[in-house]
Amino acid sequence: MRKILLAGIMALTAVTIISCRQNKQQTATGPCHIHGTISEQYNDKRIFLVPLTGPKTSAYVDSVEVKDGTFEFETDTVMMAQILMDYHYRLGLQPLLVVTEPGDVKVSIDSISHATGTPQNDSLEIWKSVTEEHNAKLALLRQQGRTREADSIHIVYKLYTRKMAKNLNEGLLKDFLSRLFPHTYKKVMPDGSTVTIDADTHEQVPE
């Protein structure tokens, strides 16, 4: 338990440092340029830039062919999006979440995919690494029947995500992370009334 709490403290400290660094960076202006790399075995296959929410029609989805193990996207729309290989060839490749903010985003698509180069994507990459480590530990503990330890590390992860969201500059990533673990939620009671419930204790919050 002490190790879990220590890991949580270290994670929250890292979030504060990361956020301070982000605050010092100047906000870029102009389009988002995504420069991607992928194995050359996917040459001539199509790769897609898909909005995370909203319509998935051709008017909103962009696609290009992979050439010499590289691909590029350019967009003036700031959004949370996923980079996905054509579904016929997607097996073994990790879909990549990116923020299409102004600047140059360097992307690599593989079994573990990465995106860096702009403030929000740098922060997203750190959160993604923490999330993958957390999910692996959580799955192992639950498989071993160590439920209390699994619950403890999940609480640490939830606090980490909330802290990161709180410390980030205003933007899509802050909004995205803030929605993952809200502090409260609404519940409809048997009489039809709606009450506010604390998401951590699952007790009603006095109005």
- What does the pLDDT read at residue 29? 76
- What does the pLDDT read at residue 28? 56
56-73 residue pLDDT tens: 888 899 999 999 999 999
- What does the pLDDT read at residue 57? 86
pLDDT band with cut points at 50, 70 and 90 for residue 146: very high
How far is C-alpha 39 from the chain's CA centre?
23
Mean pLDDT along residues 143-150 = 96
- What does the pLDDT read at residue 190? 93
What are the residues facing 82 on neighbouring strands? 50, 97
- What does the pLDDT read at residue 158? 96
Residue 8 near residue 159 (C-beta atoms within 8 A): yes
DSSP letter (8 states) at residue 170: S
For residue 180, give every residue at least 6 positions away whose Cβ sits within 8 Å of its Cβ, in sequence order, or none: 161, 165
Token look-up 């204790």 returns 201
- What does the pLDDT read at residue 78? 95
Does the pLDDT at position 197 exceed 60? yes
Q: State the Cα angle at 77 between 76 and 80, rounded to 5°.
A: 135
- What does the pLDDT read at residue 42? 97
- What does the pLDDT read at residue 171? 95
Q: Point out the least confidently predicted range of 2-16, 46-60, 98-112, 167-181.
A: 2-16
- What does the pLDDT read at residue 107? 98
Mean pLDDT along residues 33-45 = 98
Burial of residue 49 (CB within 10 Å: 0-12, 13-18, 19+) is: buried
Does the pLDDT at position 25 exceed 60? no
- What does the pLDDT read at residue 118? 97
Does the pLDDT at position 98 exceed 50? yes
DSSP character string of 80-135: EEEEEE-GGG-TT---EEEE--SEEEEEE-SSS-EEESSHHHHHHHHHHHHHHHHH
Give the global pTM.
0.81
157-186 residue pLDDT tens: 999 999 999 999 999 999 999 999 998 989
